[in-house]
Amino acid sequence: MNKIEVSVIIPTHNRAPFLREAIQSVLDQDYFSEETGQDVFELLIIDDGSIDMTRETVAAFGDKVHYHWQEHQGVSTARNLGLSLARGDYIAFLDSDDLWKREKLRTQMSFMQAYLQAKVCCTEEVWLRGGQRHNPKKRHAKHSGWIFDKVLPLCLLSLSSALFRKEVFEDIGNFDEDLPACEDYDFAIRLAHRYPIYFLSKPLIIKRGGHPDQLSQKYWGMDRFRVKALKKALTLGLSPQEESLVRAEIVKKSRVLAHGFLKRNNKEEAEQYLQLIKQYQ
């Protein structure tokens, strides 16, 4: 039996049509043992309480995938369950509405094995909206190296494109299960504070967006969750410069939220963020 090198984790909830293609894109990877020609990765599907045809969709792939069901608790809990089950020394995630290109794992593993100091690397992406190619805005441009300042305005860590050494999670912890959204933003802050993030400019994943069940469509005022993550970041042992950047971002996002709540005539919520502005500016 080949040693499992990479554990691939797909969390999913009621996305059976997308999931079938996501699974196939992993199974089609051209990364395998040169000695035996067999795959050296495992694929874990974490079903976060789906009530559609998810179970049947996964079952059609037989023993090529490992299926685990949990009561609906959110994507962070699903990813964390996957991490607890993972046997590989490397961890990769794939959102169930995204796709990998065939050479994704091979390209990233070659990089990680060549640069032993690297703990995480990400790749460029192709964005689709409603099936049409969509060009990301300038503010979504990816960066390489020590990018703590770059991940504070918005999350630049695409988990579907990332490959981690497993020790990263032992060092900085798993995903925050108390955040219903922006858990990737919270994780990116902790990651970028601790490690350089290496960026490979080749587009190796396809991100499919624009459907109504995305968390960004579900919640108004996503900055509410980002402010919580930023307040947590102040406990990381930041340098004076890093702390200044975090405090400034709390103020910036709190101004946006306060304005939004006032427009909705929600003065109580607005006052909370007005107080944060006074506290952190």
**Is 133 or 22 the better-scoring residue by pLDDT?**
22
* Confidence at residue 212, expressed as pLDDT on a 0 to 100 scale: 59
Sorted by where each begins, the domain ranges of the chain are: 6-218, 223-280
* Confidence at residue 141, expressed as pLDDT on a 0 to 100 scale: 78
Three-class HEC string of 103-162: CHHHHHHHHHHHCCCCCEEEEEEEEEECCEECCCCHHHCCCCECCHHHHCCCCCCCHHHC
Rounded to an integer, the average pLDDT of 151-171 is 96
pLDDT band at 34 (very low <50, low <70, confident <90, very high): confident
pLDDT score of 35 more than 90: no
pLDDT tens digit sequence for 236-258: 999 999 999 999 999 999 999 99
pLDDT band at 211 (very low <50, low <70, confident <90, very high): low
How far apart are the C-alpha atoms of 141 and 214, rounded to whole Å?
21
With tokens 């990089």, the residue in question is 111
Least confident span in 6-10, 33-37, 102-106, 145-149: 33-37
Residue 61, class by beta-carbon neighbours within 10 Å (0-12 exposed, 13-18 middle, 19+ buried)? middle
Three-class HEC string of 172-219: HCCCCCCCCCCHHHHHHHHHHHHCCEEEEEEEEEEEEECCCCCHHHHC
pLDDT tens digit sequence for 108-117: 999 999 999 9
* Confidence at residue 134, expressed as pLDDT on a 0 to 100 scale: 67
* Confidence at residue 238, expressed as pLDDT on a 0 to 100 scale: 97
Rounded to an integer, the average pLDDT of 258-277 is 95
Multiple choice CATH, 6-218, 3.90.550.10, 3.40.50.2300, 3.30.1490.20, 3.40.50.300: 3.90.550.10
Q: Are 75 and 182 in contact (CB under 8 A)?
A: no
CA distances from 264 to 170, 195, 257, 258, 261 (A): 42, 40, 11, 10, 5
* Confidence at residue 215, expressed as pLDDT on a 0 to 100 scale: 52
- The 3-state DSSP class for residue 39 equals strand
In the chain, pLDDT over 90 holds for what percent of residues? 83
pLDDT band at 103 (very low <50, low <70, confident <90, very high): very high
* Confidence at residue 96, expressed as pLDDT on a 0 to 100 scale: 96
Q: Are 229 and 186 in contact (CB under 8 A)?
A: yes
Rounded to an integer, the average pLDDT of 81-85 is 98
pLDDT score of 214 more than 90: no
How far apart are the C-alpha atoms of 272 and 2, rounded to whole Å?
55
Q: Please, what sign has the CA dihedral across residues 241, 245, 247, 251?
A: positive
In the chain, pLDDT over 70 holds for what percent of residues? 93
Rounded to an integer, the average pLDDT of 149-159 is 94
* Confidence at residue 184, expressed as pLDDT on a 0 to 100 scale: 96
pLDDT band at 143 (very low <50, low <70, confident <90, very high): confident
